[in-house]
Amino acid sequence: MNEYLPGLAGVPATKSNISSIDGEKGILAYRGYSIQELAENSTFEETSSLLLCGELPSKAELEEFDRQLRGERKLKYNVREIMKYLPATGHPMEMLQTAIASMGMFYKRSEVLTEGLGPEEEYYVHTMSVKIIARIATIVAAWQHVRHGYDPIEPRSDLNHAENFLYMLTGVEPDPLTARIMDACLIMHAEHTINASTFAAMVCASTLAGPFRVIAAAIGTLAGPLHGGANQRVVEMLDEIGRPENVRDWLEMKQEEKDVIWGMGHREYKTKDPRAIILQKMLHEWADKKGDLSPMFETALELERQCEEILGPKGVYPNVDYYSGILYSEMGIPADQFTPIFAVSRIAGWMAHWKEQLSDNRIFRPTQIYTGHPPRDYVPIDQR
């Protein structure tokens, strides 16, 4: 195949049985289970086990996996010390990539894996997956305190993953509704086929680099505003609009300038992202239980309505980033922590793809279409 397709759009890069998307019908499924069912009935722990192992765990298997995660939440003090010396004004995603990369130095055999997965390799992959899934949440939560000059809050083993993350982040044990919404958000962001960050992880994994380097590559890719950073841009966009009555004039101006409407449109979906539908429902539930919502949500609803009128015929609808940032804002989470929370969730999918890549590995080596000069002779510098 010699046809050049920018961004490798539509070009199959691998075979995978981890997740699937039907963009025309707006369906996302993990291992065959719809995201709607998982968000409503599962937990992040169970969903992570599903992604890593291929099947929903039994009660005993889930209890064991949960026990393993709870036992791996603490950070080595060396990593905490590294974090303390990072600039407080740096973006949390830069901190996260640095901290994850540094963790590889503390574990033997974190650099090389042989081709294929035998029993020993299976055990290694599972152990590393548990460590990284558990500790990335601790790192993200710890930075919220470290960057303000305080010691991080120690994890608690009596709380589930979502509850413990919110507790470490805020210092307050979350109420059941907040914890459940965070749990569902983690589930919805956990996996999404071969997106940019997952592909970066796969390319890195194909060289047999260790898991911490693989995840550091994925985090760096997720940080871009065209990928995981979009939810922060959505909140900034809605703040710029201000109120619902300002939407029309703002949207017309952006259309004239051919500017990006953050959170609108997705390469895979020709209808509304199924995750955006769930998040919007959660925002209404939050409003019903908490009693009020910021004007940002009303502005978002009005912008969606007007965008559907203008952009809907082109297949452009809200994606997962459109409502996730609003929901995190309602929880009191700083905007620059939205993308790190994305990573706290997507780590489950990244680890699943790391495992899958190693099971039938071949190093990625795409070709190119050369557009430079034809062969030519070197010209000495005094003749140029």
Q: Is 321 a catalytic residue?
A: yes
Distances (CA, A) of 25 to 9, 15, 29, 213, 330: 19, 22, 12, 36, 30
Residues 6+ apart with CB under 8 A from 16: 193, 194, 353, 356
Checking phi first, is residue 29 left (phi over 0); if not, alpha (psi -120 to 50) or beta? Answer: beta
Would you list the DSSP string of 232-258? HHHHHHHHHH-SGGGHHHHHHHHHHHT
- Give kind and range of the element (H or E) at residue 27: strand 27-30
Closest CA to 136 of 219, 220, 38, 233: 219
* Marked catalytic residue, from 161, 266, 273, 353: 266
Q: Is 266 a catalytic residue?
A: yes
* CB under 8 A, 24+ apart: contacts of 167-172: 168/137, 168/138, 168/141, 168/142, 169/140, 169/141, 169/144, 169/333, 169/337, 170/332
Please give the angle made by the CA atoms of 142, 147 and 152, to the nearest 5 degrees.
30
Token pair 């015929």 is found at 313
* Marked catalytic residue, from 321, 336, 353, 382: 321
Active site residue ranges: 266, 321
